[in-house]
Chains A and B, each alone.
Chain A
Amino acid sequence: MSLRRSAGRAVLSSKRAVQQTQRQSLSWLSRWQSSTPDAALASSSTLPTQPSPEPTISTPQSIATTNRSTLANAFSTVNQAEIDHFSRLSSQWWNEKGEFGLLHKMNPTRMEFVRQKIAQGVQDDEGWSFVKRDRVDEQGRLIKWEGEAAKRVRGKWLEGLDVLDVGCGGGLLSESLARVGGNVLGIDASSHNIAIASLHASQDPFLPFQSDSPLVASTSQLTDPAKQEGKAGSLRYRHTSAEELLKEGKQYDVVCSMEVLEHVDSPGEFLKCLADMVKPGGHLILSTISRTPLSQLLTITMAEHVLRLVTPGTHTYSKFIKPSELLAFVRDEMGGTDVWEADGDGLVDGGREGGGVSVGEVRGIVYDPLSGQWRLWKEGLPFGDLCNYMFHIRKKSL
């Protein structure tokens, strides 16, 4: 079973992005891979400057002229060349009508699951009663119950929480997490992904992005009034692995890792690593794909080979993990109910492999082609977890 302990180091490989970038810009990629970022800067300084393809408003804060004065003059032409490359790659991760279109559509639904799970922690039902709640009046109109908790979970519901997004890719989830107020760190083992995510975030003046790279500017340097107002949250990206980050000893209120588990070599080690970075009382939220004939048909046969929505080779069937295996692993290998809250409201099927109280909740996430949207499968209903599913566990408070 792939979930057994293995000595190997779990390595994140955001394969999709890597394959995509290779197709897009192989020569640039090999140069990047063969040198450190600094060396890349030096060697690419001879590249001709390319004009920006889109009309842009020149502001003192724009990327081409960062206010890091020591770098700005020496590398201004280099920056532009690099950014042009980034832009081309970024247009794939962030092309909503392209290869990642389905992922873009999945993102709000994944966020909805995260929101529901975090909202469970908001114990404020003041004003709720059998009378005061959502109801339909005699004219058939829906009257919504607007409790404080209900309001709060629609606004900046991650405000004040440290959030880690492992395998952030182009930053689809990270940006959303930051927008709802989280102090977000997105990490990825692919430096290309981090570069793409950083560039993309830096171009949005409304994101609280803080750059760790000399190549891109922090949007926090901007003095946009709209930006100043909604200052909750922060967004950073780092090129590192979960294992490296764990060594630093920091823990997070929320650890997310979306569509990554099915790509790592040692999912068990990887899961334990993620678990160690969850604060007491914090949440671990995953999304991945089950190993069933249906998932093989949908994610590999249809998506990769027939419809070509995704580059062939993106997924490997044998690496998929069944919800029951995941639940059993958490129960048997990750401390079970000694470490995690027993979750009563989800699909509890960890018992299939060996009995005992299971922890965690599995929710299917299903694409509805008619509405063009992903939907969370109803809690407790069977069959929803045969393909894509979300997983949540909460660590016990100290």
Chain B
Amino acid sequence: MSQSVTNLRAIDPSPAAERQPAVAQPAIRIRDLHKSFGGLTAIDGVSLDIGRGEFFMIVGPSGCGKTTLLRILAGLETISSGAIEIDIPAGSQRPENAMVFQGESIFPWMTVWNNAAYGLRMRNAPAAMIKERVGHYLDRTGLTRFADYYPHQLSGGMKQRVSIARAFANDPEILLMDEPFSALDAQNKLLLQEELLHIWDEQKKTVVFITHSVDEAVYLGDRIMVMTAQPGRVKCFIRVPLPRPRAIIELQKAPEFGELIHRIWSELRDEVQRAREQENQDAAQDKRAKKEGQPS
């Protein structure tokens, strides 16, 4: 099967099994994916499998192409080369994916209810289904009371809840989440992470979740992919063996938790450092270019 295709650039000391991109029953299979913007290589030969029902986390330094990878999966970017296969069960009526965006993505001109119903309305779902689904997920996100509110009347955390309700209500095969909690304060973040886990537990959909927070990756994920600094490559895969359902507060006491955090950090540290050096170099180059461009 997919084991025959290998493109492993990972060079890490973790157990061999975790370096394998392949899983038993992949919902998403990515092989040797390349993406460049003009002369800039954003993603350089990424291969990975994401299992059906897996909560898959991607961490990496800023500018490593993780958002680009997610946007490709969301159909918002094209690929330069490589292959992506998304396996949808035969006869599935569900849309392939729904994305929870970083930053404010709910429409200011729609009420909470209409925002949450957006995906279903766009695919002309029957009214009864819209009512049932939207009602359910607004309930699960604690927004029922705010159904008729406009976004400007909500806090940042509530807006992100609407965005999550919108994605879940659309009932996709795959949920894509692009640092959905990064703009929230620590307390709200914790609350939403727990809520997300609860909602996810209902159906255990396949999730691809991007974060720059190592803690978040361990709290939520079944498996974590660490990416290298630009150009984005797979550095390693790390399995999170913590049992579910998880209570985030309890996790912090578990000895495995500390170990995992430590391990991910040591993988990530070099990359963050490298990303920073790159930035410095770029800035220096810009400066030089400017100087040379100046008439003497």
Answer yes or no: are A and B bound together in one complex.
Answer: no
Q: Which B positions have Cβ atoms within 8 angstroms of A?
A: none
